[in-house]
Amino acid sequence: MAQGRQLYDTTQSTQREWWWLNGEQRLPCKPAQWQQYKPELERALSEKYDAMRRDGINTGLLLDLTPWHIPYQIWRVSPVTVVNRNATELLGHSAVGGYKESLWDPAVDSLPPSSLLKHGGVNYAFRKFIQVHRDDANMLLEVDP
């Protein structure tokens, strides 16, 4: 799972940190599971996110990481209610990319070890971003409304 963090200061500049959740994708997660993207990826993610917002795009491919030799893509997808009876753990729940939507709402003690979080004043809203292997991205398109 990928997500963006924002800090708004009095000069109206925006700082963001982008993190992905390593290991088991379940709550509660441990702060040490979070891995911060490299600065050049954070810049690219922020630029693409700003473009999505500016263009009024709510879902879709945010960034393909292939140019950085990483076989993943980052998507923003909408939650769906799971109706597949074979998905017993998710049946009847709202899900994002095959995970319970609640994964995008971790407790404060499960958040990444962010310098922005330590200084307060952070508006941290999980935006339903998900990092998927590029070979599996077509499955997101099958369920995204």
Q: From the first residue on, what is the mean pLDDT of each consecutive set of 10 residues in the chain (145 residues)?
A: 42 70 92 93 93 92 96 92 92 91 86 76 65 89 60
Q: What is the pLDDT of residue 118?
A: 66
Q: What is the pLDDT of residue 110?
A: 86
Percentages (nearest 5) of helix, strand, coil residues in the chain: 30, 25, 45
CA 102, distance to chain mean position in Å, is 13
Q: What is the pLDDT of residue 124?
A: 55
| Whether 128 contacts 62, CB under 8 Å | no
Q: What is the pLDDT of residue 114?
A: 84
Q: Write out the two tokens for 129.
A: 């971003």
| Whether 77 contacts 59, CB under 8 Å | yes
pTM surpassing 0.85? no
Q: What is the pLDDT of residue 78?
A: 87
Q: What is the pLDDT of residue 56?
A: 93
CA distance 15 to 73: 22
DSSP state of 38: P
Q: What is the pLDDT of residue 131?
A: 93
Measured at the CA of 100, the angle between CA 48 and CA 93, to 5 degrees, comes to: 125
Q: What is the pLDDT of residue 1?
A: 53
Q: What is the pLDDT of residue 132?
A: 93
CA 63, distance to chain mean position in Å, is 12
